[in-house]
Structure 1
């Protein structure tokens, strides 16, 4: 098991909150939200395994990634935490809550469902585009951005993905375990059958313009999380916390501080 996951700590509030980002993200993606909550929460912005500066694993499944994070939680805290997971991080958070409920006081699932998500297929083309980049030829992030412009025309998505491109001296490399994640996209988009339920408070935050959470996902969500409440952020797409940080912060604050 991974003894340590790279993380950033923001705030000194009474509630312990652990943020889990989505595919090809990093913990720091939640920096703005954590800073806004710093009076009520001590937030741990974790790099998931195979992401950011956390260790890589040899294989990928939702359950082995959840086990890595659960082990880190067990080693890091002597009390249950509020777990907030977006997209892939939301799937991992749900499985931790179901398999190790003693680690989780409250759960917030952001724009993902306990179901197979066909939208994950969009990453096939994105990852293929990243793999076309010849790292030995890269001289700057600007050059890499320009090289990928035609294959990834969405500027926000392209720059989000290029957060993973780092260099040491003249040597450029991917922070994320690009090959393993690329080969595991079917597992990323899946949801293997799982028993049990988590009976703690659960908030399910959905982007009103996102295709990831559908009406047919409500029943399986309620079966696993009987105390779930759904909130839709009307003008947000999949990256809810980036699309409408003010509303997302308000929702999170309310979830942390209410009985």
Structure 2
């Protein structure tokens, strides 16, 4: 097994630990708006997963290893047990952690992903290639980069999300995420590890957007295999970014879920 990396991120608040894990191309800061609402009752940790945000790069994005990164973070912070919330890729990391170290999980809430392999390689390959093709030497502002991306990526919200990874260093613009590694590891990121069993040691909830298609009948079957006691909530008219598209309902549901301190 390869070594863990020391994750960067933010921490605030006091109380039981609440760790919130972001998705592909994101960072811990994606959860900042939601996390603020829990700082009075929880110690919130918003790590940047490996190859994202300000965390180190690493050529291996196996979910067992990414879960080990989060466990190492908990150890450094002196946290024996935490509630985990994860969106998309971060949801897979959270599930892998629960399935490999169940004693460390107090609650598990997974947002718009199931424990199974997906095939969105065409979409993500196009996104990564579009980012690679931006002539950073000619970029003078974020507006320049946005215009370059718009030739391939028509949705402004997607471009603005991707542009959170554009940073200026030494007078030059550069992507802070390693696009070559992400391209190489797409099959791993979209996949799901074999050999993982079931988890029923703590409350588990899945929240998904009905408009996203990430949790269909096949996804529900996969959830039942690995998390037989899980509750599944569907948000009508909501897509993949559940917590961004309906933050009020999501925060309410998360608060209710975390208030349940009884194991199933």
TM-score calculated relative to the size of structure 1: 0.94
Over the residues paired in the alignment, what is the CA RMSD in angstroms? 1.5
Instruction: Indicate the SS of the match to 1:163.
Output: helix
* 240-249 or 225-234, which deviates more: 225-234
Distance 1:177 1:204 in 2: 30
Deviation at 1:216, TM superposition (A): 1.8
Q: Is the 8 A contact 2:12 2:39 kept in 1?
A: yes
Residues 115-194 of structure 1: pairs in structure 2 closer than 5 A:
115-119=116-120, 121-194=122-195
* 220-229 or 66-75, which deviates more: 66-75
Deviation at 1:205, TM superposition (A): 0.6
Instruction: Indicate the SS of the match to 1:118.
Output: coil
TM-score calculated relative to the size of structure 2: 0.93
Find runs of 4+ consecutive structure 1 residues off by over 6 angstroms.
none
Q: Is the 8 A contact 2:64 2:100 kept in 1?
A: no
Distance 2:153 2:171 in 1: 25
Aligned partner of 2:214 among 212, 215, 218: 212
Deviation at 1:98, TM superposition (A): 0.4
Q: Which runs of 5+ in 2 are unaligned?
A: none
2:224 corresponds in structure 1 to 222
Instruction: Indicate the SS of the match to 1:78.
Output: coil
Instruction: Indicate the SS of the match to 1:49.
Output: coil
Q: Which runs of 5+ in 1 are unaligned?
A: none
Q: Is the 8 A contact 1:233 1:247 kept in 2?
A: no
